[in-house]
């Protein structure tokens, strides 16, 4: 079996806080095992453009606390074409890179699965996305920071909601997963939390709000997770306004502030662990897998499974949000 001498590391897809901590862990673990390590800038695009940067221990100094990714990231739709991946493979081989660590979300793992499968190239993935929607790990890097950022923002919105008797519809990210919505909903004491996985219709939402008003609750926070059937926060607010015209409503879309900022302690620890384990996995000749942590244990999930299955939001927690928001 060909021994691994040089590892490439890249970040791909949407950035998430803690990606830098993961890069740092990959670089320093590789150096510990006396393996060369190359940073690939701008994700899969960077392989095509040969944006390869040799990394030393100092290349990753003072980044553990920084959001974003020092390697930059990108979406690279052309990577879905096999001949484009052939160019990528040739560029990797010509640069002497014989294994890859891909830090990203499920889309990035689909890319890794395709590249690794086409050319039998060793790749290990590290789950990093604020959405927490990747099967095979309890938490993804960036999720904890994102929910804390969202929680702090919603706490501030609550001050204005109460001072002006307003009902705020606050949209949080998550693509089509409700993890950010559910966790911020319970943590901010939101009156209503809408998540894509659990159907709510406009009539039952309005009935609930009318009952709330009878209880003299005149202000409130309604969390609208993106990807839900009822639409964006703007659309949900407009529908409520049609049913209850005298409601004073405001809409806030938290947007990309959820993706940035200094990672929390949990995200830094998770990223450090997963970066270390990813390099160890390659040296153990593992390939085509994502490293994760499930119930405190390190796990290796084939990309195919990580991409095709989904973590489920905790329905018990959803029931708790309803009970506690009376």
Residue among 123, 130, 161, 209 that touches ligand F6P (CB under 6 A): 130
Task: Number of residues interacting with ligand ADP: please give it, by CB under 6 A.
Answer: 18
Strands 297-302 and 289-294, bridge-based pairing: antiparallel
CA gap 274, 59 in Å, rounded: 19
Residue 59's DSSP bridge partners are none
Token code pair at residue 17: 């806080």
**Count of Cβ atoms closer than 10 Å to residue 3 Cβ:** 8
Question: In terms of CB distance, is 212 or 226 closer to ligand F6P?
Answer: 226
Residue among 9, 47, 98, 106 that touches ligand ADP (CB under 6 A): 106
Site residues for ligand ADP, 42-101, by CB under 6 A, read 44, 75-77, 79-80
Q: Of ligand F6P, ligand ADP, none, which one does residue 303 interact with (CB within 5 to 8 Å by kind)?
A: none
Q: Of ligand ADP, ligand F6P, none, which one does residue 245 interact with (CB within 5 to 8 Å by kind)?
A: none
The verdict on 181 binding ligand F6P (CB under 6 A) reads no
Cβ of residue 217: shortest distance to ligand F6P, in angstroms? 30
Exposed/middle/buried for 71, CB within 10 Å: 0-12, 13-18, 19+? buried
The verdict on 114 binding ligand ADP (CB under 6 A) reads yes
Sheet arrangement for strand 167-172:
192-194, 220-225, 167-172, 249-253
Q: Of ligand ADP, ligand F6P, none, which one does residue 130 interact with (CB within 5 to 8 Å by kind)?
A: ligand F6P
The verdict on 185 binding ligand F6P (CB under 6 A) reads no
Q: Of ligand ADP, ligand F6P, none, which one does residue 67 interact with (CB within 5 to 8 Å by kind)?
A: none
Token code pair at residue 153: 């923002």
Cβ of residue 75: shortest distance to ligand F6P, in angstroms? 7
Q: Of ligand F6P, ligand ADP, none, which one does residue 151 interact with (CB within 5 to 8 Å by kind)?
A: none
Strands 192-194 and 220-225, bridge-based pairing: parallel
Q: Which residues contact 284 (CB under 8 A, 6 or more apart)?
A: none
Question: In terms of CB distance, is 104 or 181 closer to ligand ADP?
Answer: 104
3-state SS, residue 302: strand
**Count of Cβ atoms closer than 10 Å to residue 326 Cβ:** 9
Token code pair at residue 305: 């499974």
The verdict on 105 binding ligand F6P (CB under 6 A) reads yes
Is 131 designated active site?
A: yes
Residue among 111, 116, 181, 263 that touches ligand ADP (CB under 6 A): 111
Q: Which residues are catalytic?
A: 131
């Amino acid at each position: 079996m060909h021994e691994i001498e040089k590892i490439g590391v890249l970040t791909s897809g949407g950035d998430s806080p803690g990606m830098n901590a993961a890069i740092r862990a990959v670089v320093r673990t590789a150096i510990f095992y006396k393996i060369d390590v190359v940073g690939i800038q701008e994700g899969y695009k960077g392989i095509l453009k040969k944006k390869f940067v040799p990394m030393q221990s100092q290349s990753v100094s003072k980044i553990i606390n920084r959001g974003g990714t020092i390697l930059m990231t990108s979406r690279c739709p052309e990577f879905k074409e096999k001949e484009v991946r052939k160019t990528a493979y040739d560029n990797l081989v010509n640069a002497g890179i014989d294994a890859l660590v891909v830090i990203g979300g499920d889309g990035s793992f689909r890319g890794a699965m395709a590249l690794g499968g086409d050319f039998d190239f060793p790749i290990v993935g590290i789950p990093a996305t604020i959405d927490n929607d990747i099967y095979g790990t309890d938490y993804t890097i960036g999720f904890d920071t994102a929910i804390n950022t969202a929680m702090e923002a919603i706490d501030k919105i609550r001050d204005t909601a109460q001072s002006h008797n307003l009902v705020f519809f606050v949209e949080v990210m998550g693509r089509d997963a409700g993890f950010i919505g559910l966790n911020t909903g319970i943590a901010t004491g939101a009156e209503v939390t809408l998540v894509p996985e659990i159907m709510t219709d406009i009539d039952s939402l309005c009935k609930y709000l009318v009952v709330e008003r009878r209880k003299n609750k005149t202000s409130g926070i309604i969390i609208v997770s993106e990807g839900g059937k009822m639409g964006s926060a703007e659309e949900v607010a407009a529908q409520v306004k049609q049913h209850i015209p005298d409601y004073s409503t405001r809409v806030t879309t938290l947007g990309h502030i959820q993706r940035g900022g200094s990672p929390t302690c949990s995200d830094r620890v998770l990223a450090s662990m997963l970066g270390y384990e990813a390099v160890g996995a390659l040296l153990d000749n593992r390939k085509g897998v994502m490293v994760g942590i499930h119930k405190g244990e390190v796990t290796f999930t084939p990309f195919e499974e990580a991409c095709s299955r989904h973590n489920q939001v905790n329905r018990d927690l959803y029931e708790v949000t309803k009970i506690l928001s009376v």
